[in-house]
Amino acid sequence: MRYFIGNWKMFGTQKSIKIANNINNFIKSDKNRNKYRVIITPPFTLLQYFSNYFKKKKIKIGSQNCYHKDLFSSDTGAISPFMLKEIGCEYSIVGHSDNRAEGDDDNKLKQKVNFCLKNNLKIIYCIGENKTHKNKKQTFKVLRRQINNILKEKINYKNFIIAYEPIWSIGTGSVPSSDQLIKITGFIKKILKKRFKRSKTPAVLYGGSVDDKSIINFKNLGDIDGFLIGGASKSPKKFIDIIKNYYN
Ligand code: PGA
């Protein structure tokens, strides 16, 4: 099973449901539809609307972030996994580099993972090195820490997806070479295989400047179970072409 996840970030109004609906219509008619799953993570303001609309359709809905503990709290602006689950949200992104930069440290992320799982919310857990780590050859060290930190929780592999997103690639148009990606995803899978049973390891996705053109570089990399797509997921044509170009 492959994943194509559209992270809309701070984009969209109610009218933007058309974008997701176009993608849903494409999936319905696509001969490859049983080979992949599409998840859209719109902003919080659209979650309930999208969750209701896509309830019995092909597209699954996720949030871009969530609170790390407590069903309810006095933390202004926070939304808990419990509240997300109640409105039909199935997934949450956890640990996106935007949120790590705003203070999501290892401890908080471990709590988020734990609290999502308790509330039956599946996790898309983002990891990735920045440019300095890359230049100092610290990529493996950073990734190992980011993964091991949350593997302290008891996790069902089916509820957990890892998205490798090098920060230097997000929104920049630069992507890792195939060789780099093979090495890095192999490294991530090796860590996961130690912790999970061999045949039951979580999916590992790539994210960072994936679009209808760059997808060509990734199509034959068997260790990559899918893609987390930011900018290009706001255009139905580009998103659909990513899927088409991946399979054709
Ligand atoms: P991008 O974003 O595809 O625009 O690089 C990816 C992400 O931040 O998840």
Which of 68, 129, 133, 165 is catalytic? The answer is 165
pLDDT tens profile 138-179? 999 999 999 999 987 789 999 999 999 999 999 999 999 999
68 counts as catalytic: no
Provide the pLDDT confidence category of residue 85 given band limits of 50, 70 and 90: very high
Q: What is the pLDDT of residue 36?
A: 98
- Say how many Å lie between the CA of residue 226 and the centre of ligand 1: 13
Q: Quick one: which atom of ligand 1 is closest to the CA of 171?
A: 5
pLDDT for 198 beyond 80: no
Ligand 1 center from residue 119 Cα (angstroms): 27
pLDDT of residue 220: 86
Q: Whose CA is nearest to atom 9 of ligand 1?
A: 230
Residue 176: both structure tokens together: 């890792």
Nearest atom of ligand 1 to the alpha carbon of 207 = 6
Ligand 1 site residues, Cβ closer than 6 angstroms:
7, 165, 170-171, 207-210, 228-231
- Structure confidence at residue 243 (pLDDT): 98
Whether 102 is catalytic is: no
pLDDT on residue 152? 79
Alpha-carbon distance values, 230 to 78, 105, 209, 214 (Å): 23, 22, 7, 13
Can you give the pLDDT at residue 222? 81
Q: How far apart are CA 99 and CA 55, in angstroms?
A: 28
Task: Provide the phi-psi class of 22: left if phi over 0, else alpha when psi is between -120 and 50, else beta.
Answer: alpha
First-to-last alpha carbon distance for the chain, in angstroms, is: 16
Smallest CA-to-CA distance from 128 within 63, 207, 201 is with 207
Q: What integer best gives the mean pLDDT of the chain?
A: 96
197 has pLDDT over 90: no
Structure tokens at 198: 């061999």
What share of the chain in percent tops pLDDT 70? 100
As a whole number of angstroms, the distance between CA 32 and CA 10 comes to 30
Which residue, by CA, sits nearest to atom 7 of ligand 1? 230
3-state secondary structure of 175: coil
Query: Do residues 233 and 40 lie in contact, with contact meaning Cβ atoms separated by under 8 Å?
Result: yes
Q: Which atom of ligand 1 is nearest to the CA of 170?
A: 5
Q: Give the percent of the chain with pLDDT over 90.
A: 93
pLDDT of residue 139: 98
pLDDT for res 138? 98
Mutate to test the pocket of ligand 1, among 3, 5, 7, 126 (most ligand atoms within 8 A of CB): 7
**Lookup: tokens for 25:** 């219509």
For residue 199, pLDDT over 80 is answered with: no
For ligand 1, mutation pick of 165, 214, 217, 239 (most atoms within 8 Å of CB): 165
Q: What's the whole-model pTM score?
A: 0.97
